[in-house]
Each structure stands twice: as structure tokens, then as C-alpha cells.
Amino acid sequence: MPNRILMFTALGLFAGCDYLASYTSDEETGLQEGPDLPYNDYQQVAVEPRNIRVAVEAAGEVEPVTTVEVKSKASGEILELAVDTGDVVESGTLLAQIDQRVLKNTLKQAEASLVVAEAKLANSSSQLERINSLYANKSVSKADWEKSTLDFATAKSEVVQREIALENAIIQLGDCDVNAPITGTIIERAVEQGTVISSPMGNSSGGTLLLKMADLSRVQVRMLVNEIDIGKMKPGVSATVNVAAYANRPFQGEVIKVEPQATTVQNVTMFPVLIDLQNREGLLRPGMNADVEVMVADRNQVLAIPNAALRTQGDVYSGASVLGYTIEDVDKMLAASPKPGKPDAAGSGGSTALVGKNGTDTVEGVLSDEERLKAIMTKMRSGKRPDEEDIAFMRKNRELMQKIAGAGGGMGRPGGRPSASAGRPSNVGRGPAAQPRPMRAASSVDQQFGGDYIVFVIRNDEAVPVHVRTGITDMDYSEVVAGLNQGEKVLILPSQSLVQSNETWQNRASRMSPIPGLGRGRRS
């Protein structure tokens, strides 16, 4: 997991060219080459409070929570169809009436059959009484007595069968009146008066659909969320829904379900997410297109710094090189800057145990992934086709790279592993301005965002790398949980590897492109 997340260092090599372009003018930024420049020549940003909102946006469609297909249990011609689409009806209201003539005849026949069966039962009962009396006096044989007993049982059984047939005939006659099963709105009418329909009872085709009803007092929006963001979707999270029909009136709802089965849309894996909405005024209608914004996290006035200032362990040396620092200098300064402690994941709102972090494996993992990406790109530049293993590796990280590039790119894009902590350590600072910050309890959002990074900060008139821990991020700014203090200045530095990568691509473009001036970039 750490190797995968800190791979953002390598991904920044390819997705951060746009970010580098923002520093391509000496006149605009004062950025110059050479290790001996004062720190004021690089962009400095103060650590200041700001509001950070994290939301997931997606498109969806309004649909009813409850939809009922109305069919008739009776077959025959529709004599009356009392409702039309858009009508709001109460449960039990007559919707349609089917021709009853055949069923009325069946009812009369069942009544007559029951009368005959009851008469037979009366005769069998009288006969059995006489046989019992004679059999007691030994005037009839046992065979005659057994036959009379069997005739009585048969007559009694036939009466029961005729009673059931009569009851079924009454039920079937009542089925000719089709009543509303729920209180709701008629959203579809599939037949007209005079249509001959078939019953779904015993019919393999499922019978004829008459109407569709839906309870529109409560609707839901089914939206598709990219698998990158699906981990942020939890039942109960608030959501804002906008529809074109009411552009200035947002509707408030909440996530009620995240479907477990994914669907693929244009080779992108998506998961359906259901948003519950109250619709007492009936403004939202099935089929409306909706734009949904799910509020994942909202922090007010928290310390924050630009994401471009964040460095991973694998990228800090390239950033330090533009300041004239060697690897040994960086390691020495980082050793003097304690890492923000990591709270015990087992704790939750209680006491917090601080543990160290093994940075060796993490750095090796980042460098391994970075070298592999470079090797694949070198192979492709030389005209060779990547093998299946290379393609699988690139496909695995494709969406991650697109997300970074789409957000502006850069070597400092946050991508650290999610924090599993249940609490936050106090701030670690140096110098007279350092003040401890209180710990706050971690939420479920903290487990989706944040990580451990390194930033270059001005302390005692010197640019030094320090360890920081971040919280949520809106892809432009990240919340500072530990490691920095309000008012301190952090540096936004170009990455030497990005400079080299950008120059390589520009030289390549100047050689290959027939468009004049395409390869003439501004000197950074």
C-alpha cells in the first residue's frame, strides 16, 4: 500500500508538465537557475487558515423509489379505464373494469354445483344412518355398511370442493375490478378501453400490462461514480442535486446505498450510488437528468498549504537540488526534523500511542516504481512496443495519472497513503514561532485523504525540509494537521526531474512537429 500511494512521485514526472509551465517565465515568477539564489527568488506561500471543501460530482437520473406494474388477474375486454397518466390516486381507487359476463356465468354454475353436492350429502347421510342401524342388528353385511360409509365420505368431500369452487368464482368476479395497489401517480398507460387482455395467472407470457404507478412523494437519483471516488461514498453523506428545470433551486438529499456491483461505461469502471430525495411538491419527475454533488468533507478555517509545496520522500532530493543541497544535506536536515507521530489505529477518541514510521521500504518502493515507469517510457520513445506486463502496469495507473493531470499536475500532488489513525498528534515545529496545535479526532474522511509529506519551509532565514502530515485536500490545497505553524512560509520549487523531462519532450516536439515555434518554449 505505501509503495502504491507514494508512486505519485513517479506519476508526477509525466503528469506535471503543465505545472512546470506555470514557472516558465523569469519575469513572471523570478525563477532562475543556479543553487546560489536567495530563497526570496522562489515562490513563498504562507501557512494560513482557509476553508477546504471536498466533494464528488457526478451525473445521474431521477427515478421513483417505489414503482408498481398494474395487471388484471381477470382476462377479457376492458370496459372502462378510469385514469390517465399524471393522475394521482389513492390506494383502492378503481382503475379499470373488465368484462364480467363469463365470470358471472362461472359463479352461477358453481352455486348450482354446490346445491347438488349438498343434496347428495344429505341423501348419503340418511342412507348411512339406516345402514348403521341394520348393521347393528346384523341385518346387512359388513360390505354393505362399508360401501355406505364410503358414499357418505365421497359426498362430503364433493361439498367441500364445490364450496371452494364457489369461493374462487366470487374472487375471480371481484378481480374484474382493478384497484390501485398503492397511493401514487400514474406514470404509464399501456392499454386503452376496449383492449382484450390476458391474465398473468397461469400465463407464461406474464399477462398484459395495464398501467404503471409510482409514489413520487419520495424519489431517488441513481448516479454513476468512478471507482477512484467510490471509497468516499458512505450511506448518510449529504448530497446536493440540481436539475435543469429548476436551475436556481437545489434539492438536498443523502446517500442511501452504494451498489456492490460495478458497471463499465466507455472502458471506465463505475459504481451506481443512490441519493434519496424528498419530493412532496412533486417537482422532480422520473427521467430527469440531475447533477449531483456529494459533500465528502468540509473544513472551516484550518491551516492549509498548496499541494504544489508537498514533496514525497522519493522527490525531495530533486527539489532540494535546485536549492543547492546535496543528498547528505537533506538527510541531515530531515533527521533533525522529527516526523509527526502516527496515532495507534486501534484507538478511537481515547488515548493515542505514537509510533514511528519505517521510511526505508517506502523510498525503495517509490524508486522502484519510478524507474519502471521511466523504463517503459524510454522503450516507447525508441519505437518499441511495450509487452503485456508493461501494458498491465500502465493500465493499472492510467486513471490515477489522469486524475493528477486533470487537477493541474505537479510534483507535489498529494497521494500519500490514507491515514488509519483515530487521533492526530500535536504539531511539531522549530524556533520561537513554533506553537503546539491541539489534536483532533479522526473521522472516516481522514482515512480517505491525507498522508505524510515533506515541505521546504523558511526557518531562521534558512530553507529547511521538514516532515508534515496532511488531512483532507481539494486537489489545490491540503489541510496541515501537524508539522507547520500559522504564518510560516513554505517554498514552491520546480523539480529537477520535471525540468529534464520537460526539456526532453520539448526537444522531441521541436524535431517531430512541422508547426513553426512549437518547440520554442520559454526558459525556466
Question: Are 41 and 157 within one domain?
Answer: no
Asked, for residue 354, whether it belongs to a domain, the answer is: yes
Residues 21-59 pLDDT 10s: 333 334 333 333 333 445 555 788 899 998 988 888 889
Examine the fold and report which residue of 131, 149, 175 is the final residue of a domain before the chain moves on. Answer: 175
Question: Are 439 and 320 within one domain?
Answer: yes
pLDDT at 501: 58
- Indicate whether 459 pLDDT > 70: yes
Out of 337-346, 349-358, 433-442, 474-483, least confident range: 349-358
Asked, for residue 272, whether it belongs to a domain, the answer is: no
- Indicate whether 396 pLDDT > 90: no
pLDDT at 32: 37
Q: How many distinct structural domains can be found in the chain?
A: 2
Examine the fold and report which residue of 175, 208, 231 is the final residue of a domain before the chain moves on. Answer: 175
Out of 5-9, 155-159, 295-299, least confident range: 5-9
- Indicate whether 514 pLDDT > 60: no
Residue of higher predicted confidence among 84 and 348: 84
Is 48 within 8 Å of 480 (Cβ atoms)? no
Asked, for residue 90, whether it belongs to a domain, the answer is: no
DSSP class of 422: S
Asked, for residue 291, whether it belongs to a domain, the answer is: no
Find all residues with CB under 8 Å of 275, minimum gap 6, and list them.
Answer: 60, 220, 221, 222, 223, 239, 241, 253, 254, 255, 256, 292, 294
Question: Are 322 and 401 within one domain?
Answer: yes
Q: What is the CA radius of gyration of the chain?
A: 39
Asked, for residue 198, whether it belongs to a domain, the answer is: no
Range of the domain at 118: 100-175
pLDDT at 96: 93
Beta strands in 279-402 (DSSP E): 289-306, 342-343, 354-355
- Indicate whether 424 pLDDT > 60: no
Query: What distances in angstroms separate CA 160 from CA 112, 121, 156, 432, one per listed residue?
Result: 14, 11, 7, 99
Which CATH number characterizes residue 161's domain? 1.10.287.470
Find all residues with CB under 8 Å of 39, minimum gap 6, and list them.
Answer: 323, 458, 463, 491
Residues 212-247 pLDDT 10s: 999 998 999 999 998 888 888 889 888 999 999 998
Residue of higher predicted confidence among 145 and 354: 145
Closest CA to 169 of 266, 118, 100, 219: 100
Question: Is the four-CA dihedral 484, 485, 489, 492 of positive or negative sign?
Answer: positive
Confidence of residue 324 (pLDDT cuts 50, 70, 90): confident
- Average pLDDT of the segment spanning 325-348: 69
Is 441 within 8 Å of 422 (Cβ atoms)? yes
Confidence of residue 460 (pLDDT cuts 50, 70, 90): confident
Residues 284-307 pLDDT 10s: 999 999 999 988 888 888 899 998
Question: Are 28 and 138 within one domain?
Answer: no
pLDDT, the chain, mean:
74
pLDDT at 288: 92
pLDDT at 398: 61
How far apart CA 133 and CA 135 sit, in angstroms, is 5
- Average pLDDT of the segment spanning 112-127: 92
